[in-house]
Amino acid sequence: MKHLLHAMLFMAVILLAGCSQDGADSGEEEERPITLCYELFGSQTAEDTENEWYRELERRTGEKITVQRIPSVNYVSRIERMTTADSLPMAVATNDSLMSSPVMRRAISAGSFWKLDDYIEDYPALYQQIGEQFWESVRIDGAVYGIPRLRIQPRNGLYYRADWAQRLGISEVRTLEDFYRMLTRFTYEDPDENGRDDTYGLGFCWTDYGNKSWNGIATLTTVLGGPNYWEYRDNAMLPDFFTEEYLEALRFFRRCINEGVMSREASITTVQQRQKDFLEGNTGCCFGCIDDALGLQAELESRIPGASLSVMTSLENGDKRRRVNSDRGYNGMLMFNKSGEGGIRTEEELRRVLSFFNSLCKQEDLFTYGVEQVDFVQNPDGSKELLKMEDGTLKLNADMMDFTQIFTFDCMTGASEDSELKRQMEKVMEESSPYLVFDDADLLQSSTYIKKKESLNRIIQNASMRYILGEIGDEEFNAAREEWLEAGGTEVISELTEQYELKKK
């Protein structure tokens, strides 16, 4: 029965699409392709749009789509410029940085994006796929301004070279001390067996304070018992860097530098360089989003035969309860532009675009396996095998070109084979879920922070890095805390505290 229903709905979609293409009873506006824009992380060229996967997507949804992909390095600034210039396409994927950008906030207040409250429940597949909890949590000033881009919650952790660990006979990494020992052995015991002293245990990089997942300070602070960024404690909001656990995390990285387990150049290493070092086998471990490991493993295997990865989200900390730095479960939203030439002009057009996303919910196989003979082949036993390209990456990921930045099924970004790593990740995710620690300031807005974010973050980021490098000690770090308070931090704390208490009621 369910299949029959699906088939009927599918027919209806095709018939409707047929009607609008005839143009018999619809205006010119309905003929416009659906235009989308999102962040491109992969190395594909942003212009390359024509491929079998996209054609199949258009065939199944009955819509023409035009996609604009913007490389991740300048995504935020480009979208901000396009917003100001009224040159956004119909649908735009925003991330957390954009959601807290003053430019976007102003555009939202000025009514540049469609409110979806009166529409979303008319699209049952989409409504259910996202789930009530997330529709509620994406509200801004009480309204839903987009479709949340779902992500896994136990996301912030680390990945390391499982083949190196195995080669060195490291079977268990449970405590922080075990972890440190593994990094030391990755550094000094020639894990790649090339006879040269050419590896570091840990790859680290410079990122702004608040960019939780990348350099591990946030992850480790939480593991050690500190907050996930902000915690409501003793009747006030407390930022992580005011806790002893934060300093303890910094001291861990300082020890790594002092003992040669991590490069001193960490303070000037970019995220891209850190990734390159890892993929070239120069480093054995990085903190980051564990769901990135799947894509990294494919790329690593193609460069270094036999290389494999493992992931972790937490480490034991004495006899204290385990703690996992949790993601809120989504990163920004897919928003619908109202302004300029490219914007969605009418309610009918908005409904058409929402129908497109609703119909994507029924295309899970296209996102998981792609097009037969192009992205996968069917084995005689009925199982599906994803095809790989020469460099070892999955053809499906190359074809989708990060389309999962707009829409994804299992909250992991990108498709992946049913591999040992994927099974391990699923196990880690399941085991982590009872121990998730959330950010108490999540979704709260401090107007002072929005205004002074960069200068405030810079104070803490600089002090943290100098502390790791051993250039300053506890006393100077305390001075940086005071500087932060005076530069606007005091207002940030009181604004967030007020909002938190209001929300709690």
Which residues of this protein are in contact with Ca ion, per CB under 5 A? 190, 192, 194, 196, 198
Q: In this structure, what DSSP letter does residue 200 have?
A: B
Q: How far apart are CA 437 and CA 397, in angstroms?
A: 32
Minimum CB–partner distance for residue 305 and Ca ion (Å)? 16
Minimum CB–partner distance for residue 185 and Ca ion (Å)? 12
Contact 334, 146 (CB under 8 A): yes
Strands (E), 202-329: 230-233, 236-239, 285-289, 309-312, 324-325
Contact 370, 399 (CB under 8 A): yes
Nearer to Ca ion, 128 or 194 (CB): 194
Minimum CB–partner distance for residue 215 and Ca ion (Å)? 24
Minimum CB–partner distance for residue 259 and Ca ion (Å)? 17
Minimum CB–partner distance for residue 286 and Ca ion (Å)? 18
DSSP string, 75-103: HHHHHHHHHHTT---SEEE--HHHHT-HH
User: Would you say the C-alpha torsion 174, 178, 183, 189 has a positive or negative sign?
Assistant: negative
Nearer to Ca ion, 201 or 226 (CB): 201
Nearer to Ca ion, 117 or 198 (CB): 198
Nearer to Ca ion, 167 or 362 (CB): 167
Minimum CB–partner distance for residue 193 and Ca ion (Å)? 7
Q: In this structure, what DSSP letter does residue 28 have?
A: G
Contact 285, 160 (CB under 8 A): yes
Q: In this structure, what DSSP letter does residue 72 have?
A: G
Strands (E), 253-343: 285-289, 309-312, 324-325, 330-336
Q: How far apart are CA 471 and CA 423, in angstroms?
A: 43
DSSP string, 366-428: HHHT-SBTTTEEE-TTS-EEE-B-TTS-BHHHHHHTTGGGT--SSSSSS---S-HHHHHHHHH
Q: How far apart are CA 437 and CA 241, in angstroms?
A: 16
Nearer to Ca ion, 190 or 491 (CB): 190
Residue type, 125: A
Minimum CB–partner distance for residue 168 and Ca ion (Å)? 12
Angle between helices 474-484 and 447-468 (to 10 degrees): 170
Both structure tokens of 107: 């555009």
Q: Which residue minimizes CB distance to Ca ion?
A: 190
Minimum CB–partner distance for residue 182 and Ca ion (Å)? 16
Nearer to Ca ion, 74 or 194 (CB): 194
Nearer to Ca ion, 196 or 505 (CB): 196
Nearer to Ca ion, 195 or 434 (CB): 195
E strand or H helix that includes residue 354: helix 347-360
Nearer to Ca ion, 30 or 190 (CB): 190
Nearer to Ca ion, 30 or 259 (CB): 259
Minimum CB–partner distance for residue 119 and Ca ion (Å)? 58
Minimum CB–partner distance for residue 198 and Ca ion (Å)? 5
Q: How far apart are CA 426 and CA 403, in angstroms?
A: 22
Residues 170, 176, 177, 182, Cα dihedral to 10°? 30
